[in-house]
Structure 1
């Protein structure tokens, strides 16, 4: 059974600490030139950074690709 991505949670991200662009989520690395992008509360997408602050109540979008 395939679980829709919107039903899942991020349980692991690389790098595991510090800062830098996220290169792997739940054991699945970026592929080719596709980098993960994030958006918080509907803002423009930007490279998904490990050091990004997420506050209680924020709506988060994480996707892979340009």
Structure 2
């Protein structure tokens, strides 16, 4: 049976952390420059969906009357 290579696993974990940290730094820099965060892009659609749900509920209430 082969021995696990702990140094390799540790190095991969460190590289993943470094990559994640760099991506976060880039997001913050981009957000500071433009005032826009691409991770928040989906929030606009949430408002539309909430409005549609409320409209559908009103229509259902009116139809029941």
Per residue, is there more strand in 1 or in 2?
1
State TM-score, norm by structure 1.
Answer: 0.19
Q: From the CA coordinates, give the structure whose radius of gyration is larger.
A: 2
Per residue, is there more helix in 1 or in 2?
2
